[in-house]
Structure formats: C-alpha cells, structure tokens
Amino acid sequence: MPSTTDDPTGATLSYRNIIEREMENALTEMHRPAKGVAISGFAAGLTVSFGALFMGMALTFQPTFPSTLAKQLTLGGVSAVGFLFVIIGQTELFTAHTTMAVLPVLTDRASVRDLLELWGVVLAANLVGCACFAGLIAAIGPPMNIVDPAAFGSMAEALLPFPWWVITASGVVAGWLMGLLTWLVAASRDTISRVVIVLVVASTIGFAPFHHALLGTTEVLAAMFLGQGVTLGEFAHFLTWTTLGNAVGGGVFVALLNYGHVALAGDDVNVDYEAESTSGFGDDTTEKH
C-alpha cells in the first residue's frame, strides 16, 4: 500500500489508489474478529432499514401523488437516506462487501473460504438487523399513525410477484449500482462529495425499485408482520434470488471488471512533453523578411 504522501492531491483518487485502498480495507475486515463484524453488520441492517420506514411514511402521509414519476422519485429519495447512514457511518453492509471483498481473492491475498466466511457473517447479521427493524415498524407504526399497513403491502407487491430470473436480473442491477456507489465513494476525498454520490446513486434503487436483499427484506418482512398476506415462501423466493443477483452485480460487474481494468493497464508510464519549437503557433521570435 503506498504511503499517504504518494496519494493524489486532487478531489478524487486514481483507479490504482482505489484498488489498493479497498483491498486493504477488505483484508482488514477479513481479519477482524467475527463478533466485531457481526455487531457492525447488525447495526448496518438496522440502519439501512430507515429507508424502508421512510418509504412507508411517505406513502402513508401522501397516499396519492400527482403522477407515478413523482411517487417513485419520492420513494427513491427517502430510501437513499438509509444507505447514507450506512455508508457514511462505515458499518458493514453485504452489498458493499460483495464488491470489495472479492478483490483480495483475485490477487491470491485471501482465499475463497475467507470471502465466504466474511459474506456469511455480514449477510446473516444484516438480515437479523433488518428483521428486528421490521418488527419495530410493525410495533410502533400503526399505533403512532406514521405507517399504514397497506403502504408496506404495496411496497412488497412491487418486489414479490416476479419469476426467479426477473428478480435475479433486477438484483444484478441493484448490486451493480451498490458496487458503483462503493467505488465512487472510495474515489471521493471529501464528505460532501460522498453524501451527494450516495444520495444520487442509492436513490435509483428505490426509484425503480430494483431488488436489494437488505432494504427489500425490511419491506417484505414488515408487510408480513403487518398482516399484508406475505408468506414465508414468498420471502424465501425473494431473498434467495435477490441475494444471488446482488452478489453477481457487485462482484462481477464492478469488482472483477474494475480489477481487470487495472491489471491489464500495465505499468504507469510517465510521458514528458516538451515543445521543440513554437514555430507555426504565432511565435514572435520567428524571423520576418
């Protein structure tokens, strides 16, 4: 890892700096005690679920919108807040590690087993956090009149009634977007830029909505707990194919391709340009006859 004095001084890092930084971060997480990773993952599952709560509140407080576009823009915007809490707070989210934890494996600095162990701990902890938050939504939402159960019913309806290949493909897009988000945040050098990147990119997931294993888990489980007719089978169908899609989207379309871009770029070459002559470009020293 290069010293910090070798880092670029501009607003963004080079792709090599990003790879090196995220490789180091991933290796650090792989060597952390499992309990610490699990606690951080549990916190991330709770925190990202605020996006689902805010989506439900928006649909409750504004049951009708002037257009479908206005509705989806609103839901996308408020759902991004949960991702903002997680990314800026630096807790462990599975859809971020699907990207970055692949990097050490590609360079033989970690094994596939190390990768799967990290993914397993983070994903399990995330899901427990999401389930707990869904229970909180069901417990306090209706009594406080901040959540209409039908709102979560409609959110679940936007995710569940699809064949496995549609859910998987949608999950690939969501994982791809999360991987790009992680990459762009890593490239940024200041907090304001990171906030803008998170809000813009993450909002596209809720805008569609594309299938995200963790945000969607909170939405679907909250609908189940609120008596909206969601079954465990439907939830398992959603979670299985969404998780697969998220892993492929982040691991292949971001980590593998970006790493390949760096690996095949070759060594950095310094090119010095020195103008041999300014003739022909309005040089005042050219002799005049």
As a whole number, mean pLDDT of residues 108-124 equals: 93
Contact indicator for 51, 34 with CB cutoff of 8 Å = no
pLDDT above 70 covers what percent of the chain? 85
The domain spans of the chain are 8-263
Q: Residue 263's pLDDT band (boundaries 50, 70, 90)?
A: low
Phi, psi of 273 (to 5 degrees): -110, 130
Q: Is 280 left (phi over 0), alpha (psi -120 to 50) or beta?
A: left
Question: What is residue 4's predicted lDDT score, i.e. its pLDDT?
Answer: 39
Mean pLDDT across the chain, nearest whole number?
87
Lowest model confidence (mean pLDDT) among 4-8, 100-104, 174-178: 4-8
pLDDT of residue 10: 44
pLDDT for res 8: 47
| Single pTM value for the model | 0.85
Q: Nearest 5°: phi and psi at 12?
A: -130, 160
Q: What share of the chain is helix, strand, coil (3-state, %, to 5)?
A: 70, 0, 30
Give me the CATH code for the 8-263 domain, please. Answer: 1.20.1080.10
Q: Does residue 278 have a pLDDT over 50?
A: no
Instruction: Determine the pLDDT at residue 281.
Output: 45
Place of tokens 């340009």: 273
pLDDT of residue 211: 98
Work out the pLDDT band at 2, boundaries 50, 70, 90: very low
Q: Any idea what the Cα angle at residue 148 is, between residues 243 and 222, rounded to 5°?
A: 25
* Mean pLDDT score, 56-62: 98
Tens-place pLDDT, residues 201-237: 999 999 999 999 999 999 999 999 999 999 999 999 9
Residues 43, 279: Cα–Cα separation, whole Å? 66
**Closest C-alpha among 265, 104, 253, 266 to residue 182:** 253
Phi-psi region of 145 (alpha: psi -120 to 50; beta: other; left: phi over 0): left
| pLDDT at residue 12 greater than cutoff 70 | no
Confidence of residue 271 (pLDDT cuts 50, 70, 90): low
Indicate left, alpha or beta for 53 from its phi (over 0: left) and psi (-120 to 50: alpha).
alpha
Q: What is the pLDDT of residue 267?
A: 58
